[in-house]
Structure 1
Amino acid sequence: MSDSKSSFSFWKVLLPVAIGLGVVVLMFVHDARKEDIADIWKSIHFDSRIIGCVVAGFLCMFGRDFGLTWRFRALTDRKLTWRQAWKVDMLCEFTNCITPSAVGGSSLGMIFLNSQGIEMGRATTLMLTTLFMDELFFVIACPFVVMFTPAADIFASEGSSFSHGIKYTFWIVYMLIAVWTFILFLGIIWKPLWIRKVLDKISGLRWFRKWSSQIQALGANMVATSKELQSKPFGFWLEVFCGTALSWTSRYLVVNALFWGFIPADDKYQWVILARQFVIWVVLMVSPTPGGAGLSEWLFSEYYGDMVGTAGMALILAVFWRLITYYLYLLIGALVVPSWLSKTIDRIRK
């Protein structure tokens, strides 16, 4: 058996599933009484409204995948077919699911693009561009969301330690994202040579010598990226940003769909539900667990608990949310992605 296949053995794919499900079980046992969960579950009638909201949630994730597939097509100037772009999207999403959110799995995106016929240098350019667009979306959208949402609504109950904690975490992470986005803007669009010189100096410092080759490669990639991107017309940027906005907004709307079905009395709070998703995903960017496993479920049940009423129902909604947005991709990955990864690595080695 090839090394690539052993590197992506089945148990390594299922390990994040086991960790995530284990955390969910612990939450059911410790965060809500078993009789409460049973009573709440019995009170849920899977009528047309609830079934419709679950279907709507899956459709939102389809919108998310369509947005990213569309973005890969636009970035490659339509060189990738829809099928190839979708495959790259699935590979990136799966690696996001099995790597810590703070690390991210899209760093392998250039390998996935290369496997679909995109030259490695250009593939690196494109993945830096996707990273920049993702961060730019957060930097632009978050202030508008916070501006039009009362602080007491977007950061849960004012005065609680949880409210203060999530507020401070959000703004700290947001500022880090803003700084990183500005560095990317300088590095791949405005002043790539200046950023490269700074990175070269950093790589020479004693504390960073271990990663000197990676830091210097990042600087070189930024210069190469800049040369291609500076020639792109406004229409290119508009299309790529629209694909980015569609993908993230669609992902957020999954929670709106679930509330619409399970908590119909809260229809008037749909904007607040959406606004809180921006906060959740910014906080999850620093999650140390694979795909935010464990932290996501806990954060959701705590953050939306004041809008749901009971810990049991909040936890049930959190499970449905993760089933649609996370465990579905792990299932697809367990069945399909390992063979794709093995074929990709084998093709590159040849």
Structure 2
Amino acid sequence: MSRRNWLVLSLMLIIGVGILGYSLRNSNIHLLLQDVSAINWGWMLIALGCICLYLGLEAVVVKIFMNDRHDGFTWKDALRLPLIEQLFNGITPFSTGGQPAQLVAMIQSGVDGGLASSVLLMKFVVFQAMIVVNFLISLLIGFHFIAEKLHALSLLVVFGFLIHLAVIVGLLMVMYWYRFTKRLMNLVIKPAALFMKAKRYERMKIVLNEKVDTFYQESLRMKKDYKKLAKVCIVTIFQLFFYYAIPYFIMLALGIHHINFVMVLSLHVLIFMIISVFPIPGGAGGAEYSFSVLFASFIHSNTKLVLAMILWRLLTYYFGMFAGIVAVFVKPDKVKR
């Protein structure tokens, strides 16, 4: 990690502490401590297990893609990727740092850069597609709930969905209308030349065209291997399921029962969409606010609501970042070419 990354990480921790302090401003500390002492740690272990399964199943996806391409790409190498992704997604705006960081990690493991890019692109495409599928299901179940609660949040949800949908549409266009999409992309980026130096613009153009070419070649390969693609889609659905289930088990740990499991999952899907449109790394501020607003109907005690939000944030954001710090310093195995 660079010095700049450490500075951003420190800044995000400071912001997190600030948000925590602001959330506790109207809370009774004595009641909060009572709620902490009454936590059912069995349910909390299940919530912890969910985030571990979420990260572990992403490693399974990497292994599925790599099994027939490199002999010796170990489980340790595969597990490093989602952890490093969590760290760099957590310290970059719009989670843009995860993909480049994973590419570096795969190259460190001895994987060819072109192959690593292909695998990461296909993993990204499947992940985005499953997010859209989950969102469409959740939209039918829980969107009326969020629309009633706060109109501004419903607009953010729709905006977040449109971003993810645009990504999927763009990638599908590369797969099925390669030449047209490539020409369209080069046309769309032309105005950028007015605001960039010529060398930088040309470099950007070359990189984007190479990525389009790489993804197209990989898509041709994947279209012939439907079984592998179907397997990755199923694993990714389970991966997202465990992530979306985390708030449910946190509420059970706080003694909040008689809650609708499907509704909680659906609302968490919508929160995921809201976080994706916040430019601040980790969606700081927006994540905590949307959680508090949407789950206030399930958690009537203010101290329990704040505690649930803190526990949720620790598991879904900070746990992955700290695990990623450990993964960065773990020496990768070298694959056999």
TM over 0.5: same fold? yes
Question: Aligned match of 1:256 in 232, 248, 252?
Answer: 248
Runs (5+) with no aligned partner, structure 1 = none
Question: Aligned match of 1:296 in 281, 287, 303?
Answer: 287
1:109 has 2:102 as partner: yes
Question: Aligned match of 1:221 in 211, 214, 232?
Answer: 211
8 Å Cα contact 2:135/2:269 also seen in 1:
yes
How far apart, CA to CA, are the structure 1 residues paired with 2:142 and 2:4? 48
Question: Aligned match of 1:272 in 260, 263, 267?
Answer: 263
Change (3 A) 1:6 1:101: closer
How far apart, CA to CA, are the structure 2 residues paired with 1:38 and 1:145? 37
Question: What is aligned with 2:170?
Answer: 183
8 Å Cα contact 2:60/2:78 also seen in 1:
yes
Q: How many residues align?
A: 324
1:25 has 2:21 as partner: yes
TM-score (norm 1): 0.84
Change (3 A) 1:66 1:330: closer
Return the letter of the residue paired with 1:129.
M
Secondary structure of residue in 2 paired with 1:16: helix
1:62 has 2:67 as partner: no
1:52 to partner: Cα distance = 1.0
1:200 to partner: Cα distance = 2.1
How far apart, CA to CA, are the structure 1 residues paired with 2:48 and 2:329? 25
How far apart, CA to CA, are the structure 1 residues paired with 2:261 and 2:213? 43
Runs (5+) with no aligned partner, structure 2 = none
Secondary structure of residue in 2 paired with 1:34: coil
8 Å Cα contact 1:24/1:294 also seen in 2:
no
Identical residues among aligned pairs (%):
16
8 Å Cα contact 2:292/2:309 also seen in 1:
yes
1:40 to partner: Cα distance = 4.2
1:279 to partner: Cα distance = 0.3
Change (3 A) 1:12 1:170: closer
Q: Deviations over 1:60-93 (max 9, x none)?
A: 0111012100011112235321111001121111
How far apart, CA to CA, are the structure 2 residues paired with 1:207 and 1:308? 52
Change (3 A) 1:6 1:178: closer
Return the letter of the residue paired with 1:200.
N
Pairing 1:29-44 to 2, within 5 Å after superposition:
29=25, 33-35=26-28, 37-43=29-35
Return the letter of the residue paired with 1:166.
L
Return the letter of the residue paired with 2:190.
G
1:102 to partner: Cα distance = 5.3
Question: Aligned match of 1:88 in 74, 81, 90?
Answer: 81
RMSD: 2.5
Question: What is aligned with 1:331?
Answer: 322
Question: Aligned match of 2:187 in 198, 201, 205?
Answer: 201
Pairing 1:317-328 to 2, within 5 Å after superposition:
317-328=308-319
1:306 has 2:297 as partner: yes
Deviates more, 1:227-236 or 1:214-223: 214-223
Return the letter of the residue paired with 1:198.
L
8 Å Cα contact 1:101/1:288 also seen in 2:
yes
